[in-house]
Chains A and B, each alone.
Chain A
Amino acid sequence: MKSDIGNKEWLEEFEALKKVNPANPFTVPSGYFEDLDQRIISSIRIEAYREAGDFNGLTVPEDYFEKLADNIQSRISVEDALSNTSGDFTVPEGYFEDLADNIQSRIIVEQAMADAQDNLAVPEGYFEQLADNIQSRIAVEEFLGETEPGFAVPSNYFEDMEQQIQSRISVDTSLGEHENGFSVPEGYFENLSNNILAKTSSYETDKRRGIVRKLFASAAFKYASAACLALFIGAGIFIAQIESPEARHNRSYLHKALFKVPDNEIENYLQLHMDASDTKALLDHAETGNIKNSTDLQYDLSVN
């Protein structure tokens, strides 16, 4: 291939490539290049504004974008509500067809009512005088109705009254003669009280007089009782003392034999000759002897 291929002579060496039409196979939309320069200039201006941050003619109200979402939501809700309300408000069937006739009828009725109100007039000042008229009427009727104050009597009551009284008297008289079938002796009630008192005073009561003797009343007996009680208590204490383990020990032969032996000699003997059985015996009888604390003894025996 020649180094200088500006004249495309090199293409002769490539048959396949040579067969390809060198024309531009790409196309563009109609009129693309006619307005390309304008679009490029517009792009340059937009780019300049964006870099400068200068959008003087493209400002928005304060907090516009912060409120924008809520405004859009509200607008959507309103639009939905408006689109849905058309189906919520309904009218009866044939409403609009009958509406004109209904309006006409209503007009006629109201006109008639207006006319009727004119025919039902009242005298002038009627309502102002009404209260006084009513009061006057009440007074008149009360006056007319005094003979009949309101406590009515049966008809012909007063005409029948005399006859009824006479009949009653006759009845009471006849009843009075036989008002009871029980009779009493003459003067019975007058003597009744005296009779009762007489009977009650005739009772003879036997009075018994008993001799009341006081038990344990003498002072000697009191002193004797106290003495016996003290004696018993004292005896009990004495016996308790002489029978205590300590008293028994003190009376024992061992105590009497070892009483005068010095403590150190006893300790030396124990250290030399004591065995396990002696230790157990000492522990078992620790409480009965002069050893107060068995725990201390156990410790002493364990370390020695």
Chain B
Amino acid sequence: MSIQVEDAEILRKFQDEKTRNEAFNLLLKKYQQKIYWHVRRMVIDHDDADDIVQDVFIKVWKNLPGFRSDSQLYTWMYRIATNECITFLNRKKMKNNIPLDDVAYDLSESLADSTYFNGDKAQLKLQQALLTLPEKQRLVFNMKYFDDMKYEEMSDVLGTSVGALKASFHLAVKKIEAFLLSED
């Protein structure tokens, strides 16, 4: 069982050039899976998620020296990962010259055939329901439902007010429920 190092400690070690690599390794071990699953739920495909995760941590490495600790390290990295996901999805839409709804449809289709998805029928349906949501709503639902993040943390990540996030989440849940019921 690994000992979770405090973010402050990581930041302190990172500031020292001698211990920078050590600090970054600690940061990786602490947050790589969280960042990965956050990305994975958005882009569905494992290989895409792998690429995005590496890009995220490259940006973390580059920008960590300028991190001013006015937010949580975790939420800061979450924000980077979220932006990378949105950029990726938009790029995919533009690359294939198809609407984002069709991108969601493609993701849904790939999910059913994916080697790295072993959920049951209900879980598959839930994921398909999530893919029908707008990106922001899907993010909100994922961070709340799967990551159990607080609205304040989500607000820090998404740059949206807590109230708006609650409303967005409420709408997302209702849509999902309707989808799950209608597809029966």
Residues of A within 8 A of B (CB): 1, 3, 5-6, 10, 14-17, 19-29, 32-33, 36-37, 39-41, 43-44, 47
Contact = CB atoms under 8 A, between A and B. Distances in A.
Given A10-B173, A21-B119, A43 B46 contact: no
B144 A17 contact: no
A27 B116 contact: yes
A14 B117 CA distance: 24
B88 interface: no
Interface string B91-130: 0000000000000000000000000111110111111000
A45 to B, nearest CB: 10
B28 A37 contact: yes
B146 interface: yes
B36 A36 contact: yes
A15 B176 CA distance: 11
A20 B180 CA distance: 10
Contact of A26 (B41, B54, B177): B41
B24 interface: yes
Nearest to A37: B28
Given A3-B166, A16-B180, A39-B54, 19 more contacts: A1-B173, A6-B148, A14-B177, A15-B177, A17-B126, A22-B146, A25-B127, A26-B41, A26-B117, A26-B119, A27-B117, A29-B116, A33-B32, A33-B33, A36-B28, A40-B54, A40-B57, A41-B25, A44-B57
Interface residues of B, number: 42
Contact of A25 (B32, B36, B123): B123
17 contacts: A5-B166, A5-B169, A15-B177, A17-B180, A21-B123, A23-B123, A25-B123, A25-B127, A26-B40, A26-B46, A28-B36, A33-B32, A36-B28, A36-B53, A37-B28, A41-B24, A47-B58
Interface in B129-162: 144-146, 148, 150
B54 to A, nearest CB: 5
A1 B127 contact: no
A219 B19 CA distance: 157
B37 interface: yes
Question: Nearest 5 CB-CB pairs, A to B?
Answer: A25-B119, A16-B180, A37-B28, A25-B123, A27-B116
A15 B126 CA distance: 13
A114 to B, nearest CB: 80
A25 B57 contact: no
A6 B36 CA distance: 23
Nearest to B56: A40
B3 interface: no
Contact of B146 (A15, A16, A17, A24): A24
Interface in B58-81: 58, 61
Nearest to A27: B116
Contacts of B50: 32
B12 interface: no
B41 A20 contact: no
B181 to A, nearest CB: 5
A26 B37 contact: yes
Given A5-B169, A25-B127, A37 B25 contact: yes
Contacts of A6: 148, 150
Contacts of A19: 122
A5 B168 CA distance: 13
B41 A14 contact: no
A46 to B, nearest CB: 9
Nearest to B55: A43
A283 to B, nearest CB: 94
